[in-house]
Amino acid sequence: MPTTRRQVSKAVTRLSSRASQYHGAVTLYEATGSAQPSTLRSPSPKPSKRIKLEVDSNFSELSDLSDLSDLGTPSKSLHKTLRTAKLEDTELEEDTSSRVRSKSSKKPKPIPQSLDTPHPAPPRWKEAYDAIKIMRTQTVAPVDTMGCDRAQHNETDPKNRRFSTLVSLMLSSQTKDEVTDAAVKKLRTAVGGTLSIDAIISADDATISDAIAKVGFWRRKTTYIKKAALRLRDDFDSDVPKTVDELCSLPGVGPKMAFLTLHVAWNLNLGIGVDVHVHRITDRLGWHRRSPKNPEETRLNLQSWLPTELHREINHTLVGFGQTICLPVRPKCDSCTLSSSGLCPSASTKSAKSPRKRKRRSTSDLERESGPKVDIAIESSEL
- Residues annotated as part of the active site: 256
Please report which helix (H) or strand (E) contains residue 19, including its range. Answer: strand 14-19
Q: Identify whether the C-beta of residue 155 lies closer than 8 Å to the C-beta of residue 194.
A: yes
Residue type at position 46? K
DSSP string covering 303-370, please?
Answer: HHHS-GGGTTHHHHHHHHHHHHTS-SSS--GGG-HHHHTT--TT---PPPPPPPPPPPPPHHHHHHTT
Give the span between the Cα atoms of 350 and 331, in whole angstroms: 11
Q: Identify whether the C-beta of residue 258 lies closer than 8 Å to the C-beta of residue 248.
A: yes
For residue 274, count other CB atoms closer than 10 A to its CB: 27
Phi/psi-derived region of residue 327, left when phi > 0, alpha when psi is between -120 and 50, beta in every other case? beta
Closest listed residue to residue 253, CA positions, set 282, 227, 215, 281 = 227
Q: Identify whether the C-beta of residue 23 lies closer than 8 Å to the C-beta of residue 73.
A: no
Closest listed residue to residue 241, CA positions, set 165, 299, 146, 148 = 165
